[in-house]
Amino acid sequence: MSNLSPEADRQPPPTHVAIIMDGNGRWAKARGLPRVAGHQRGVDALRGVVEAGQEMEIDFLTLYAFSSENWKRPPTEVDDLMGLLRLYLRREMRELHRNGVRIRFIGEWQELAPDIVKLIEDAERTTAENKGLTLIIAVNYGSHREIVEASRRIAAAVAQGAMNLADIDEANFARHLHTDGIPDPDLVIRTSGEQRLSNFLLWQAGYAELVFMDVLWPDFTKKSLEQAVEEFHRRERRYGASTS
């Protein structure tokens, strides 16, 4: 039996939910703790949301873990975040694999430290054939750069004669993005009360429903996810069409 509230239980969940996990630093500051404590609690929230996504039968869950702009943070904080990524992959991989989760990373993750790159490659390879929830982790990701790089690849293909100008359409362009093969998100959630996308899935979220929640990421729970899905179901999705 589903644990969703009656309102959410009436309709199937969105196929793809994407989350901007924001508020770790503010959570820690409010408690007089170092920022790394907020990030550590954020990893606990991540674990809970992945479990909730599986229970709710969401097919794709994308989490914005580290943006290309996050390199501007103090080096000690960046080191802490990279350390938590290592720890997450080492500790959670076996359980995720056992639960049938398929893991995929988007972003310029090949530019990370070699040991992290290997952990990512191992995670993707080990879970590639799993049929459950697809967990997409955006690391060293920025949508502007993604779009520019896709444009460059298409321009190079045209210059080399491998593609004609007439072949360039929205579907073809999307195949050159990091998210090739992944459906566009139906719902984008941002925690902490901020109301912006922060260079996250700008192309893919063109028709997504945006839900901004005041809860800080370390306090985000399954109930928070259910509330966002309930709000999603209250929206009228028209994709640019008129209601009349």
Give pLDDT tens digits along the chain (244 positions).
445 555 445 689 999 999 999 999 999 999 999 999 999 999 999 999 999 999 999 999 999 999 999 999 999 999 999 999 999 999 999 999 999 999 999 999 999 999 999 999 999 999 999 999 999 999 999 999 999 999 999 999 999 999 999 999 999 999 999 999 999 999 999 999 999 999 999 999 999 999 999 999 999 999 999 999 999 999 877 666 655 5
- Whether residue 180 is contained in a domain is answered as no
pLDDT at 10: 66
pLDDT at 1: 40
- Whether residue 240 is contained in a domain is answered as no
Number of domains in the chain: 1
- Whether residue 171 is contained in a domain is answered as no
Range of the domain at 217: 12-142+187-234
Quote the CA–CA distance of 143 and 203 in Å, as a whole number: 8
Quote the CA–CA distance of 163 and 142 in Å, as a whole number: 26
Q: What is the pTM of this model?
A: 0.91
- Whether residue 173 is contained in a domain is answered as no
Catalytic residues: 22, 70
- Whether residue 164 is contained in a domain is answered as no
- Whether residue 165 is contained in a domain is answered as no
pLDDT at 151: 97
- Whether residue 152 is contained in a domain is answered as no
179 to 6, 76, 185: CA distances (angstroms)? 33, 30, 10
State the SS3 of the chain.
CCCCCHHHHCCCCCCEEEEECCCHHHHHHHCCCCHHHHHHHHHHHHHHHHHHHHHCCCCEEEEEEEEHHHHHCCHHHHHHHHHHHHHHHHHHHHHHHHCCCEEEEECCHHHCCHHHHHHHHHHHHHHCCCCCCEEEEEEEECHHHHHHHHHHHHHHHHHCCCCCHHHCCHHHHHCCCCCCCCCCCCEEEECCCCCCCCCCCCCCCCCCEEEECCCCHHHCCHHHHHHHHHHHHHCCCCCCCCCC
- Whether residue 243 is contained in a domain is answered as no
